[in-house]
């Protein structure tokens, strides 16, 4: 007869359930996929993903590499954080940039949506193809955007890395199908079912280190079309009439500094961030400049291979 210990009758909290689901998925991919990689974007979701990967295989190290697609326009603090974490955990961190794009001087000021395509989407495809990765973990969450809400946890991509929303593989129970033909790949989203609030609560519960840019601090910023953009280095270009001011502010998402809007905030501790998130009046993606085009823009980009 089973011993009914106190442990065994404790109901799991919803964070425990989300963690268990993510770990199950990460282990399935490691066991079944030929050459998986975990994409690492240095943001809070990536920090949670890295933490989950470390927990999933303990006492072993994660049996796959991590890859950062570097547009060369990330915040300085992000790059410093990435290198520090890779060293601290002893993981293999691949950094890939689109060298052609760099050589052509592609930048977020002059090239708009072409910049995102060349330095992010194309760079990602290059990186995946270069190393022949058959499965790539991503930190996408279904609460971020409407087309993500309909994407499977195991999202199949054809040889051109394109997603076909009308022909998704049925995903039943926990029986994930990782099989692909040569040249095809899958994107795997272990934290699909987490919300922004879950991410923050988990970061607090697990004491996960995050890039300090998430915490409010006095920073040099420019107010551009209602977005608060940080002047992170000397490459920041000012429009006529703009001037750099100091503001106590923080970021809800992190990306390329000229394209990432922050918000005025006093939340300089995790608890304050969580309180701010719980009472948030805007959803997270309003601070991403590229999402605010027309309806369905994210779905269109993903069909073309955006992560």
- Label each residue of 236-302 as H, E or C: CCCCCCCCCEEEEEECCCCCEHHHEEEEECCCCCHHHHHHHHHCCCCCHHHHEHHHHCCCCHHHHHH
Name residues contacting other proteins, limited to 172-191 (CB under 8 A): 172-175, 177, 179-181
Complex with other proteins: residue 165 or 220, whichever CB lies closer: 165
Nearest approach, Cβ of residue 59 and other proteins (Å)? 5
Using CB under 8 A, which of 65, 96, 111, 143 touches other proteins? 143
Nearest approach, Cβ of residue 3 and other proteins (Å)? 6
Using CB under 8 A, which of 28, 45, 70, 117 touches other proteins? 28
- Contact code string over 30-69 relative to other proteins, x by CB under 8 A: xxx---------------------xxxxxxxx--------
72 counts as binding other proteins under rule CB under 8 A: no
Please give the Cα distance from 229 to 31 (Å, whole number): 42
280 counts as binding other proteins under rule CB under 8 A: yes
15 counts as binding other proteins under rule CB under 8 A: yes
159 counts as binding other proteins under rule CB under 8 A: no
Using CB under 8 A, which of 87, 150, 217, 235 touches other proteins? 150
| Residue 175 bridge partners (DSSP) | 172
Please give the Cα distance from 192 to 275 (Å, whole number): 23
Complex with other proteins: residue 246 or 281, whichever CB lies closer: 281
- Contact code string over 224-263 relative to other proteins, x by CB under 8 A: ----------------------------------------
Complex with other proteins: residue 35 or 126, whichever CB lies closer: 35
Residue ranges with strand state E in 132-184: 135-137, 154-157
**Which residues neighbour 70 within 8 Å (Cβ) at sequence distance 6 or greater?**
79, 95, 96, 97, 123
Residue 62 CB neighbours (<10 A): 23
Taking alpha carbons only, the member of 100, 199, 60 closest to residue 143 is 199
Please give the Cα distance from 291 to 182 (Å, whole number): 33
Please give the Cα distance from 92 to 66 (Å, whole number): 6
Q: Which residues of the shown chain bind other proteins in the complex (CB under 8 A)?
A: 2-5, 7-20, 23-24, 27-28, 30-32, 54-61, 142-143, 146-147, 149-150, 165-166, 168-175, 177, 179-181, 192-193, 195, 197, 280-283, 286, 295-296, 299-300
């Amino acid at each position: 007869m089973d011993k009914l210990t106190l442990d065994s009758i404790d109901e799991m909290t919803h964070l425990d359930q989300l963690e268990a689901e993510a770990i199950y998925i990460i282990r399935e991919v490691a066991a079944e996929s030929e050459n998986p990689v975990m994409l690492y974007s240095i943001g809070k979701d990536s920090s949670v993903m890295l933490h989950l990967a470390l927990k999933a295989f303990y006492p072993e190290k994660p049996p796959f590499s991590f890859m950062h697609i570097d547009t060369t326009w990330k915040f300085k603090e992000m790059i410093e954080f990435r290198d520090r974490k890779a060293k601290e955990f002893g993981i293999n961190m691949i950094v890939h940039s689109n060298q052609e794009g760099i050589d052509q001087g592609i930048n977020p000021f002059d090239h708009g949506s072409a910049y995102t395509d060349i330095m992010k989407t194309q760079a990602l495809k290059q990186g995946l193809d270069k190393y022949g990765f058959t499965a790539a973990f991503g930190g996408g969450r279904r609460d971020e955007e409407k087309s993500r809400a309909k994407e499977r946890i195991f999202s199949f991509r054809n040889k051109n890395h394109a997603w076909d929303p009308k022909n998704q593989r049925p995903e039943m129970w926990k029986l994930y199908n990782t099989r692909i033909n040569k040249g095809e790949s899958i994107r795997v989203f272990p934290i699909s079912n987490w919300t922004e609030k879950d991410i923050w609560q988990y970061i607090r519960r697990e004491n996960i280190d995050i890039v300090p840019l998430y915490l409010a601090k006095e920073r040099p910023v420019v107010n551009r079309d209602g977005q608060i953009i940080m002047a992170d280095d000397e490459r920041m270009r000012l429009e006529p009439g703009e001037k750099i001011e100091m503001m106590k502010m923080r970021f809800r998402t992190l990306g390329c500094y000229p394209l990432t809007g922050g918000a005025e905030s006093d939340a300089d501790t995790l608890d304050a961030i969580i309180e701010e998130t719980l009472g948030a009046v805007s959803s997270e993606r309003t601070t991403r400049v590229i999402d605010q085009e027309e309806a369905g823009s994210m779905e269109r980009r993903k069909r073309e291979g955006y992560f």
